[in-house]
Amino acid sequence: MAKYRKLGRTSAQRKALLRNQVTNLLYHGKIRTTETKAKEVRKIAESMIALAVREKDNFETVTVTAKVARKDANGKRVKEVKDGKKVTVYDEVQKEIKKDNPSRLHARRKMLAYLYPVTEVPTEAKGKKKNTKEVDMVDKLFTEIAPKYENRNGGYTRIIKIGERKGDAAMEVILELV
């Protein structure tokens, strides 16, 4: 018996399809797809969520000193003249950062290798590059999704059958996070 379904695609196409659907499932919370694709996506998504749940609290908080450019009221960098040159003025700031332990770092890198980058576009700026922002899917997994499932042993997704598709009579389902 095979370990996975081929879905009638070459390996590169199949990997791209599954990466895209897993990313969309984790970003939106649910997707609509065929039954066989949903069963494949479910396997990958559940393993990612299990990895996030296992490593969600595996970090230490560290205080670091960072140099940050001083900015004026308009948000532009403040410059002053030193030795006849304009030089940006920097302030030292204390920041608290999360430092991943090795196993959490490994989990983060495994997720980054699989998930596609997601760009969020506000509805009023549709079709424009301005005001778009990159969504950190790995951070979303650790901070939003993993805490919801910390007391649950697997079974993070649910498949709901919604009937056959009109064109080819393929069974369509909704795959959603529980």
Distances (CA, A) of 112 to 49, 80, 163: 13, 41, 34
In whole angstroms, what is the distance from residue 33 CA to residue 29 CA?
Answer: 13
Separation between Cα atoms, residue 39 and residue 49, nearest integer Å = 15
Which tokens go with 66?
């960072």
CA atoms within 13 A on the CB side of 133: 6
pLDDT for res 125: 66
- 115 and 138 in contact (C-beta within 8 Å)? yes
How does pLDDT run along the chain (178 residues), one tens digit per residue? 678 999 999 999 999 999 999 999 999 999 999 999 999 999 999 999 999 999 999 999 999 999 999 988 888 898 988 888 899 989 999 999 999 999 999 999 999 999 999 998 877 766 677 778 899 999 999 999 999 999 999 999 999 999 999 999 999 999 999 9
Residues of the chain with CATH 3.90.1030.10: 11-58+112-177
Asked if 32 and 42 count as a contact pair (C-beta separation under 8 A), the reply is no
Q: In what helix (H) or strand (E) does residue 72 lie, and over which residues does it extend?
A: none
- The dotted CATH code for 11-58+112-177 is 3.90.1030.10
How high is the pLDDT of residue 1? 61
pTM: 0.83
